[in-house]
Structure 1
Amino acid sequence: MSRRSVLVIGPMFADLLVEGASQMPRAGEERYIDSYTVSPGGNAILALAFARLGLHSALLTTIGDDFIGAELRDSLETEGVDTSTLSVIENQQSNISLIFHDASDRSFLTWVQPDLLVHEYASAVARRIASDRYDHVHICFEYLSHRWARDLLKRLRRSGSGISTGLGYQDSVSWNQESVEQAALVDWIFMNEEEARRITGKRDVQDLLHALREIVREPVVTLGREGSVALSEEGETIRVPAVDVAVVNTTGSGDSFAAGFIYALLRKRSLMECVQTGGLFGSMTASVKESISPRIGPELAERLEDYYGS
């Protein structure tokens, strides 16, 4: 079995996940929380998942020259992620998200590096990337608005790379005609039900799938506790129920879904199996405190290969 390669492009965060914060303290007040977890977040979730599953995984991202950036880089390299496409921005802090969560929802306080600096460094790295190096590229949707990213994707596509992206809350809120044009650059877009409803204006799942067909060839939408759904190129609706788990934290479950889907895609599995694998990965992460489940790793890869081969 040849070793597949994936390039992940987009911001990485240090996620500080807080439990037991029912409300913010008033001025001068101190409140205590039940627990907290620190975990690599953002696009690091996909890069880590791919590396743990035995793929060659590279992450094109930026960090600051602070101790958080050093810890993030160390966590990637310890897990086998290729950091040759990672840039350190001098005199800058690293991205961080303070996440308040329970089993039903999340809220965020986030700091990000200046956009202009991020894309200056990222574009320099992109120019050095060989066009025939990666089997698949997963890119942050916001990056598709930048010329360097579009040029890189065109080069990689000509060499046969598959391309995917994940939609975020802000992407769906600001969706416009330019967004539609950016979506045409990719083969797969991962989004949740609410995001799909915002960009299509449809409420019924079947209606929004057909509306999404105008944007992407085979739409895939996650439905939370209802599982996930896709519309094949032949027009077949594929519904996969959610894996029954005790939900602890949904942070990272969407990225984990995308990682599972892409992993199965690279194993040349059917659309049904891709959605099933994505659902499995997403549920694993939803059942733990971290932004990526520690169970996504070599043992899971072996079990999946046995399953695919049966």
Structure 2
Amino acid sequence: MDDDRPDVLLTGLLFYDLVLTGLGGPPTPGREIWTTGMGCGPGGIANLAVAASRFGLRTSLATVLGDDFYGAYCEEILARQEGVDLSLTRRADGWPTPVTVALAHGQDRALVTHGQEPPYTQDALMGDPPAARTALVHLEAEPRAWLSKAAANGTLIYADVGWDPTERWSTDLLDQLSLCHAFLPNEEEAMAYTRTDSAIAALGRLTDLVPVAVVTRGGHGAVAVDQTTGEYAEVPALDIDVLDATGAGDVFGASFVAASLGGWPLEQRLRFAVLAAGLSVGHHGGALAAPGWYGVDRWWRAVEDPALRRAYGFLDDRLPADPGPPVRHAPVTPPVRHS
């Protein structure tokens, strides 16, 4: 396309993730548990950045890197390996890059994080944000000034939201949807913020607030309404064994944006996002579990089930002729870098 703007603009907190899988049971005081799987890599906002970049989107990330091993490693992976633009990112002297240990057990995981408040806010990192085709945003109780600036310069805002630790679920947060093109919460969050008792009811409420509303439903797939096209779609999840669910929601969001930028029908956008998120849970970590075009192409070539062939037949026309090289998944330990 004759458009030199970034396809996706991102800002948020970056983590170094260490993910442990294959626990025989939950950890208990005084007991040592050996695991059968482990992986490490960038996490947090990096999940969205890598997932988007692996679908060929020009991705610009504004975050903070500590001047330590973890920050240098994450910078190496994001900029050199994954091709993410870090021109808006800052390195902070004396500030430790946040580190999260994720213990994946069953369909969920427990997280233990060490970190400090970053020395730069999102607004300081962004300033007057560059015009971009889209921005992927995590809404917080306190509105960010850069968000309204981005919306004003024509950037389409795709937003999600996280768990409210206070469990008050203030409806004031939904006022920010006036700046957004799309909103993609999960089922529990959507029902809590809209004071409804089902995903469908929550979706109906959200359609009054934002042009494109999507509610993800985990193992039950996703539902969505796109008022700009008049479409409604509901798709099931794929039957995929879960190794680690870290970052699956981020992969869903980035994949939905990639398909939306391609102008796909709503049902295809949803199926594509559900597929990409499903493929990601078979690998360790969040960012480096993203399948990219290579992972989707490999899955499609192996599909024999007639129902899946029909449901995902649109991939024949959507997959690029060259899906690129194999993606790199989370290593057990970072490789040694020799100067």
Runs of 4+ in 1 over 6 A off after TM superposition: 301-305
1:163 corresponds, among 157, 164, 187, to 157
Measure the CA separation in 2 of the matches of 1:72 and 1:145: 28
- Counterpart position of 2:196: 202
Structure 1 unmatched runs, 5+: none
Measure the CA separation in 1 of the matches of 2:115 and 2:180: 25
Relative to structure 2, which stretch is displaced further, 285-294 or 10-19?
285-294
Greater share of helix: 1
- Counterpart position of 1:32: 34
- Counterpart position of 1:189: 183
Tell me by how many angstroms 1:113 deviates. Answer: 2.8
- Counterpart position of 2:309: none
Question: Does the 8 A contact of 1:260 with 1:280 survive in 2?
Answer: no
Tell me by how many angstroms 1:202 deviates. Answer: 1.8
Relative to structure 2, which stretch is displaced further, 225-234 or 76-85?
225-234
1:308 corresponds, among 304, 311, 318, to 318
**Secondary structure in 1 matching 2:185:** strand
1:118 corresponds, among 114, 117, 120, to 120
Where do 1:219-258 residues align within 5 Å? 219-233=213-227, 237-258=232-253
2:57 corresponds, among 45, 48, 55, to 55
Question: Does the 8 A contact of 2:16 with 2:98 survive in 1?
Answer: yes
Where do 1:172-187 residues align within 5 Å? 173-187=167-181
**Residue 181 to residue 69, structure 1, CA distance change in 2 (3 Å):** same
What amino acid maps onto 2:72 in structure 1?
A
TM normalised by structure 1 equals: 0.86
Tell me by how many angstroms 1:237 deviates. Answer: 3.5
Tell me by how many angstroms 1:7 deviates. Answer: 0.8
Tell me by how many angstroms 1:74 deviates. Answer: 0.7
Measure the CA separation in 2 of the matches of 1:227 and 1:299: 19
Root-mean-square deviation (Å): 2.7
**Secondary structure in 2 matching 1:94:** coil
- Counterpart position of 2:87: 84
Between the two proteins, what is the percent identity of the paired residues? 27
Question: Does the 8 A contact of 1:53 with 1:301 survive in 2?
Answer: no
**Secondary structure in 2 matching 1:98:** strand
Can you list the C-alpha shifts for 1:216-275, whole angstroms capped at 9, x where unaligned? 233201111111111232765410111222222211110000011000111122222221
Question: Does the 8 A contact of 1:242 with 1:283 survive in 2?
Answer: yes
**Residue 261 to residue 301, structure 1, CA distance change in 2 (3 Å):** farther
What amino acid maps onto 2:237 in structure 1?
A
- Counterpart position of 1:271: 266
1:290 corresponds, among 251, 267, 285, to 285
1:141 corresponds, among 139, 142, 147, to 139
Tell me by how many angstroms 1:299 deviates. Answer: 6.8
What amino acid maps onto 1:242 in structure 2?
A
**Residue 237 to residue 171, structure 1, CA distance change in 2 (3 Å):** farther
Question: Does the 8 A contact of 2:50 with 2:290 survive in 1?
Answer: no
1:46 corresponds, among 48, 51, 58, to 48
- Counterpart position of 2:68: 66
Can you list the C-alpha shifts for 1:84-128, whole angstroms capped at 9, x where unaligned? 11111221111221111134111111233315x231xx4333225
**Residue 91 to residue 179, structure 1, CA distance change in 2 (3 Å):** same
Tell me by how many angstroms 1:298 deviates. Answer: 5.2
TM normalised by structure 2 equals: 0.79
Task: Count residues in correspondence.
Answer: 300
1:6 corresponds, among 5, 8, 29, to 8
1:94 and 2:97 are equivalent in the alignment? yes
Tell me by how many angstroms 1:145 deviates. Answer: 2.2
Question: Does the 8 A contact of 2:100 with 2:114 survive in 1?
Answer: yes
Can you list the C-alpha shifts for 1:160-195, whole angstroms capped at 9, x where unaligned? 211112211127934214312223222212111111
Tell me by how many angstroms 1:297 deviates. Answer: 3.9
Measure the CA separation in 2 of the matches of 1:279 and 1:213: 21
